[in-house]
Amino acid sequence: MCGIAGVLGRRDPVLVQRMCDRLRHRGPDEEGFYHRDGVSLGMRRLSIIDLKTGQQPMSNEDETVWLVFNGEIYNFPELRKELVSEGHRFRTSSDTEVIVHGYESWGEDVVRHLDGDFAVALWDQGKGTALLARDPLGVKPLYYARLGQTLLFASELKALTVDPALTTTVDQEALDYYLTFLYIPSPLSIFREIRKLPPGHRLTWAGGEIRIEPYWNLAEEAAGYRARYQGAGEREVREEAIRILQESVRKRLLSDVPLGAFLSGGLDSSSIVALMSRASSRLRTFTIGYGDQDASYNETEFARCVASAFGTEHQEFQVRPDLEPILDHLVEHLDEPFADSSAIPTYLICRAAASQVKVALSGVGGDEVFCGYPRYLGARLSRWYQRVPRAVQSQVIPRLGPWFAESDGSRNWGGWFRRFTEGGLLEEEERYLSWVRFLTEEERRRLLVPALAAGAGMGDVRIHQRIWRDVRQWSYLDRIFYLDMKTYLSEDLLAMADRMSMAHSLEVRVPFCDKAMVAFSLAIPWEWKMKGWTLKHMLKTGMKDLLPASILHRKKQGFMIPLAAWFKGQLNSLLHGELARPALERVGLLEPGPVAELIALHESGRKNVSNQLWSLLVLQLWMKRFGRMS
C-alpha cells in the first residue's frame, strides 16, 4: 500500500516532493523518487510485502521502464513463475516487480493480467510514454489533471492541489451529483481541472496527448460466467460462489506484517472472519459499539458471538457523539465533499485497528454481491405495486403515511414507506434512482444560492443512466445490481474505505470485491440470491455450517451511526452553528432560509432528513477548508 504521484511532460523534483509530502499518511515507512528529462515520479510506502527489497520507484534491468504502484497484486507468485519461464530475471520478492517485467512482455495489456487492488503509473523511457491504470472495481484511487502538455497524477486530490498552476474551482456538475447521491462519481471530481481515472480503465500519455479506455468490462465478464454455468443447478452454483469467496479471502491474507478483520456481527463480516479462520490460526477482530441510548444501532453482542466461535483476539470500541474533535481531520482526508455518514464509524474503527495491525479485511461489498439491501426487496415488490390502480396509488396510499411515522432508529419504516410509495408511480429506471437519490432537483434548486441554482440538474443522473442502459437487455433486478456495483460500491463504499483507512496508514482489503467474485455474482440468477423475501439466501445457505444460527437469521443492519438522534441532541449545536445564516453567507453556497426549514423539519420529527443535513454540513465544512466557486 502506497501513495503515488508524478508529473509527465517535465522534470519537477520540487513539486513531486511536495505532492508526496501530502501523501505521507498513505506511506509513512519510506519514500522514493525517479527524475529524468520529461518525467518525475514519487511514492510514499506502507510496507506490507517484501519489507527489505520492495522499494519504489522500481525498474527493469536496464532501467528503461520505471514504476510507482499503490496496492497489492494477489496473483504475483503465478505471474512471476510465468515471467521467469520467459527469461525475465527478478531482483526482489515484491509484487511490484511483476508489473515491470509484465509490461516488457505484454505492453499495456499487463493490467489485464493483474489480479489485485491497484493504481499504477509506469514510465517507458525508451518510448517517452506513460501508462496509468486503476483496478477493475476501483479499490485504489487515482486522480489526474492536464496542464497544457503536462499531466499530473496522484493517489489523492489534495496532492495535486499543491501545484499553484492548477485552478481549484468547484465543478458545478460534480456539486450537483454530490447533493443528489452524497458522493461524486468518476470521472468527475469536485474541481473542474481534476478528474478521477474510472475503475477498470487505463490512461496512456505520449507527447502531451492522452488516451483513456476500459481494459475490463464487468458486463462481459458476467456474461462469460453465465454461459459457463448455463444449466448448472443452484447447489453447484452456490458451492462455486463460496469457493470463489474462500479463495478471495485466502489471497488477501498474503502479508509480511500483522493483519486483522473488522467484525460488525453482520453476515458479511462474520463470513469473512469464518473463512479467514480456515487459513489462519490467530485472528484479531475489531468492532464498533454504541451505548444503551442508541441500542438499535448496537451490534456488539453479535460480534462477540462470532469472535467467541472462532477464538479471535477481539476488541470493542465505543462511538460517542463527540465528533467535533475529528471532523476537520475527517473532512481533510475525504478530499472531496462526501456525505455517507458511515465514514464516521469507518474512520474510528480504522484508527483503533491501526494501533495494532497494518492490514485489515472488511466485509464491504457483500450486500452488492449477494443481494443484501432492503431496497432490493422494494424493487421486487414494486413490480406488483405497479399493478395497483393509479387512483389508489396517488390518492389512497399517501393517506396511509401518518400510520408510518418517521423514526430516528436504525430501521426507519416510515421513511422507507414514503420513499417506496413516492417512487412507485415512476418508470423502472427512474423508480430505482429515486430511492437512492437524497435531494431532488427541485430541492437542490431551493437550497443553492441563485447563481448556482440554475445549474441544479445539469448532471443529475447522466452517469447512472448511461450505466443502466449498458445492460438494457438484462432483467430489472440484475440491472439494479450492476448499477450499484458500478456506482455505489465503487464510488461510495470503496472510496470511503480507502480514505478512512489510509488516514491512519492502514490497508483495508475487501474479499467480496474480488473481480471474479463480483462478475460471478452477476451471473447468478437473482432468484437464488434472494429466495422469496429472504435477502442473501445463497450466502446464508452457503455459510450455514460455519456460522452460528443467531448470525445467519438476524435482521439486516447497516454500518450506521445514530445521526438522526444526534442532530436533535448532542450534535444540535454543531448543526445550528455551522449552518447558521452568518456561516452560510460567509461561504456563499447555500440559501439560509431553505436550510433552516430543513433543520426545522427534522427537529419536528415529521421527516428524518439526517442524511440531507449531513450532506449540507459536510459541504459547508469542506468549502470553508478547500473550496471556491470561481
Q: What is the pLDDT of residues 19-35, one digit of tens each?
A: 999 999 998 888 999 99
Same domain, 83 and 14: yes
The secondary structure element, H or E, covering residue 361 is strand 359-361
| Range of the structural domain that residue 234 is part of | 220-371+496-552
Instruction: Choose the final residue of a domain: 552, 580, 598.
Output: 552
Q: Judge whether 290 lies within some domain.
A: yes
- Give pLDDT, residue 129: 97
Residue type, 429: E
**pLDDT of 201 over the 60 cut:** yes
Same domain, 591 and 537: no
- Give pLDDT, residue 377: 85
Same domain, 266 and 146: no
The mean pLDDT value for 192-201 works out to: 97
**pLDDT of 387 over the 90 cut:** no
Q: What is the pLDDT of residues 410-440, one digit of tens each?
A: 555 555 666 766 766 777 788 888 888 899 8
Task: Identify the band that residue 374 occupies on the pLDDT scale cut at 50, 70 and 90.
Answer: confident
- Give pLDDT, residue 39: 97
Task: Identify the band that residue 391 occupies on the pLDDT scale cut at 50, 70 and 90.
Answer: low
**pLDDT of 307 over the 60 cut:** yes
Residue that wins the pLDDT comparison between 261 and 94: 261
Q: How many domains does the chain have?
A: 3
Q: For residue 1, which of 39, 51, 36, 37 has the smallest C-alpha distance? A: 51
Top-ranked range on mean pLDDT: pick from 60-64, 120-124, 173-177, 452-456: 120-124
- Give pLDDT, residue 312: 94
Task: Identify the band that residue 130 occupies on the pLDDT scale cut at 50, 70 and 90.
Answer: very high
Tell me how far apart the alpha carbons of residues 290 and 505 are, in angstroms, rounded to a whole number: 25
Task: Identify the band that residue 460 occupies on the pLDDT scale cut at 50, 70 and 90.
Answer: low
- Give pLDDT, residue 176: 92
Given phi > 0 = left and psi -120 to 50 = alpha, else beta, which region is 167?
Answer: beta
Same domain, 150 and 165: yes
The mean pLDDT value for 254-269 works out to: 88
Same domain, 150 and 232: no
- Give pLDDT, residue 73: 95
The mean pLDDT value for 128-154 works out to: 97
Q: Judge whether 434 lies within some domain.
A: no
The mean pLDDT value for 320-338 works out to: 87
The mean pLDDT value for 585-602 works out to: 94
Task: Identify the band that residue 625 occupies on the pLDDT scale cut at 50, 70 and 90.
Answer: confident
The mean pLDDT value for 104-114 works out to: 97
Q: Judge whether 197 lies within some domain.
A: yes
**pLDDT of 617 over the 70 cut:** yes
**pLDDT of 396 over the 70 cut:** no
Q: Judge whether 463 lies within some domain.
A: no
Q: How many helices (H) and strands (E) does the chain have?
A: 31, 17
Please indicate, yes or no, whether the overall pTM of this predicted structure exceeds 0.85: yes
The mean pLDDT value for 60-78 works out to: 94
Residue type, 193: E
The secondary structure element, H or E, covering residue 621 is helix 610-625
- Give pLDDT, residue 383: 74
Tell me how far apart the alpha carbons of residues 109 and 123 are, in angstroms, rounded to a whole number: 15
Q: What is the pLDDT of residues 273-305, one digit of tens each?
A: 999 998 876 889 999 887 666 556 667 889 999
- Give pLDDT, residue 388: 65
Q: Judge whether 59 lies within some domain.
A: yes
- Give pLDDT, residue 254: 82
What CATH number is attached to the domain comprising 284?
Answer: 3.40.50.620
Q: Judge whether 474 lies within some domain.
A: no
Same domain, 28 and 48: yes
- Percent above pLDDT 70 for the chain: 89
Number of CB atoms found within 10 A of residue 396's CB: 11
The secondary structure element, H or E, covering residue 178 is helix 172-181
Q: Judge whether 383 lies within some domain.
A: no
Task: Identify the band that residue 394 occupies on the pLDDT scale cut at 50, 70 and 90.
Answer: low
Task: List Cα–Cα distances, 626 to 47, 141, 142, 144, 166, in angstroms.
Answer: 31, 20, 19, 18, 13
Task: Identify the band that residue 389 occupies on the pLDDT scale cut at 50, 70 and 90.
Answer: low
What CATH number is attached to the domain comprising 153?
Answer: 3.60.20.10
Task: Identify the band that residue 229 occupies on the pLDDT scale cut at 50, 70 and 90.
Answer: very high
Mean pLDDT score across all residues of the chain: 89
- Give pLDDT, residue 467: 92
Number of CB atoms found within 10 A of residue 601's CB: 15
Task: Identify the band that residue 258 occupies on the pLDDT scale cut at 50, 70 and 90.
Answer: confident
Same domain, 6 and 114: yes
Task: Identify the band that residue 395 occupies on the pLDDT scale cut at 50, 70 and 90.
Answer: low
Active site residue 2: yes
348: number of CA atoms within 13 Å, CB side? 22
Tell me how far apart the alpha carbons of residues 207 and 9 are, in angstroms, rounded to a whole number: 7
Catalytic residue, chosen from 2, 20, 350, 371, is: 2
Same domain, 289 and 208: no
- Give pLDDT, residue 318: 81
Q: Judge whether 468 lies within some domain.
A: no
Q: What is the DSSP string of 538-549?
A: HHHHHTTTTS-H
Same domain, 97 and 240: no
- Give pLDDT, residue 124: 97
Q: What is the pLDDT of residues 526-544, one digit of tens each?
A: 999 999 889 999 999 999 9
- Give pLDDT, residue 360: 95
**pLDDT of 224 over the 60 cut:** yes
Tell me how far apart the alpha carbons of residues 230 and 42 are, in angstroms, rounded to a whole number: 48
Same domain, 316 and 237: yes
The mean pLDDT value for 242-263 works out to: 91
- Give pLDDT, residue 586: 92
**pLDDT of 406 over the 80 cut:** no
Same domain, 146 and 259: no
3-state secondary structure of 387: coil
- Give pLDDT, residue 26: 93
Residue type, 590: L
- Give pLDDT, residue 294: 58
Cross-strand pairs, 205: 130, 210
Q: What is the pLDDT of residues 348-368, one digit of tens each?
A: 999 999 999 999 999 999 999
Same domain, 57 and 197: yes
